[in-house]
C-alpha cells in the first residue's frame, strides 16, 4: 500500500528537485525519506515528540524537524513550495483550520492524502470495531466529496486534481475481476487511499518579513494526546 500511495503522491504533486516541502504530521518520517530521495529540501512537523524522535533517528541531519500542531504552524507565509498532509487530517480536531494553515505556508501546491471512508478496508474496520473500544473509533475518515468540500471552504474555487489507489477484498482479487480496466480507474471513488492536489491561487502574495511572537497555546490534537505506544499503533495500523 505504501508504494502505491507514493506513486499517487508523485503523480499528483509533480515535485521538482530542490523545492522546499513541508510534511505536516510527518510521523516517523516515512514520507520525508521518500521525498528526500526525490531531491527535495525536506521539513517535518508533528504533534508527537515520540514521532519526531523516530523521524530524527531515521533522517538525521537531512531534515529540519519541529514539534507543533497543524492548526497553528510556526512558519512564514509562502515559506514552502509544497506542503503535504498524509494521514494527518484523520487525527485532527479542526481539519479546516489545518488546511488553511497549509495553504498559508505553501507557495505552489498542497497535497492531502487520507484513508477513504468508502474503501473496503475502512468499512470492514468500522464494522469490526463497532461494539468495542478502539483507537480507530477516534479517527475521522473522508470520502472524495467530503474532502473536496473542505478544500473549497479552505481555498475557494481553486484547481483540484484527485485520484485513489486500489485495495480490493481478497475474494475479488482472486477472481481476477480487479484486473479489468473499469475497476482500475484512478477516479474510482472507492479506492483505499485518496489523494488530492490543490494548486494554490493568490489574489495577494506576501513578501516574507520575519516576525516572531509568542502565540496562544491551542488544545492538543489526538496525536499529541495519545501515548507514545498508542501513536505508534495508530500509524502502523494505517499503513499495515
Mean pLDDT to the nearest integer, 75-94: 95
Count of the separate structural domains present in the chain: 1
b/e sequence 146-160, b meaning 16+ C-beta within 10 Å: bbeebbeebbeeeeb
143 or 138, higher pLDDT = 143
Mean pLDDT to the nearest integer, 212-235: 55
- Identify the pLDDT of residue 5: 79
DSSP state of 201: -
Closest CA to 40 of 23, 58, 19, 69: 19
What band does 68 get if pLDDT is binned at 50, 70 and 90? very high
* Strand order, beta sheet including 193-199: 64-67, 41-46, 20-24, 80-86, 106-115, 193-199, 160-164
Mean pLDDT to the nearest integer, 19-42: 96
Mean pLDDT to the nearest integer, 107-123: 86
Q: Give CA–CA dist 42/20, Å, rounded.
A: 6
Share of the chain above pLDDT 70, in %: 67
Q: What's the domain range around 59?
A: 2-238
- Identify the pLDDT of residue 188: 72
Q: What is the pTM of this model?
A: 0.76
CATH number, position 84 = 3.40.50.150
Burial of 13 (0-12, 13-18, 19+ CB in 10 A): buried
Residue 72 pLDDT greater than 90, yes or no: yes
Cβ neighbors of 190 (< 8 A, separation 6 or more) are 116, 118, 119, 120, 164
Mean pLDDT to the nearest integer, 117-127: 72
Mean pLDDT to the nearest integer, 28-49: 96
Q: Give CA–CA dist 46/25, Å, rounded.
A: 4
Mean pLDDT to the nearest integer, 205-216: 58
The lowest-confidence range among 19-23, 109-113, 196-200, 205-209 is 205-209
Q: Give CA–CA dist 88/185, Å, rounded.
A: 25
> What is the overall mean pLDDT for the chain?
81
What band does 238 get if pLDDT is binned at 50, 70 and 90? low
Amino acid at each position: 500500500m505504501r508504494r502505491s500511495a507514493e506513486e499517487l503522491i508523485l503523480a499528483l504533486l509533480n515535485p521538482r528537485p530542490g523545492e522546499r516541502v513541508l510534511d505536516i504530521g510527518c510521523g516517523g518520517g516515512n514520507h520525508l525519506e521518500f521525498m528526500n530521495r526525490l531531491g527535495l529540501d525536506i521539513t517535518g512537523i508533528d504533534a508527537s515528540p515520540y514521532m519526531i524522535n523516530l523521524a530524527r533517528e531515521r533522517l538525521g541531519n537531512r531534515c529540519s524537524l519541529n514539534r507543533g500542531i497543524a492548526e497553528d504552524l510556526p512558519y512564514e507565509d509562502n515559506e514552502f513550495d509544497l506542503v503535504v498532509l498524509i494521514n494527518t487530517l484523520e487525527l485532527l480536531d479542526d481539519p479546516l483550520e489545518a488546511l488553511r494553515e497549509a495553504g498559508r505556508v505553501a507557495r505552489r501546491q498542497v497535497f492531502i492524502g487520507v484513508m477513504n471512508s468508502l474503501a473496503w478496508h475502512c468499512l470492514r474496520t468500522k464494522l469490526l470495531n463497532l461494539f468495542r473500544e478502539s483507537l480507530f473509533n477516534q479517527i475521522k475518515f473522508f470520502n472524495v466529496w467530503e474532502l473536496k468540500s473542505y478544500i473549497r471552504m479552505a481555498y475557494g474555487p481553486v484547481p483540484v486534481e484527485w485520484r485513489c489507489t486500489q485495495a480490493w477484498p481478497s475474494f475479488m482479487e482472486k477472481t481476477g475481476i480487479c484486473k479489468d480496466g473499469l475497476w482500475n480507474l484512478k477516479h474510482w471513488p472507492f479506492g483505499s487511499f485518496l489523494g488530492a492536489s490543490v494548486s494554490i491561487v493568490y489574489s495577494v502574495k506576501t513578501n516574507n518579513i520575519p516576525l516572531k511572537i509568542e502565540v496562544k497555546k491551542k488544545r492538543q490534537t489526538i496525536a499529541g494526546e495519545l501515548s507514545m505506544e498508542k501513536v505508534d499503533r495508530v500509524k502502523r495500523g494505517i499503513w499495515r
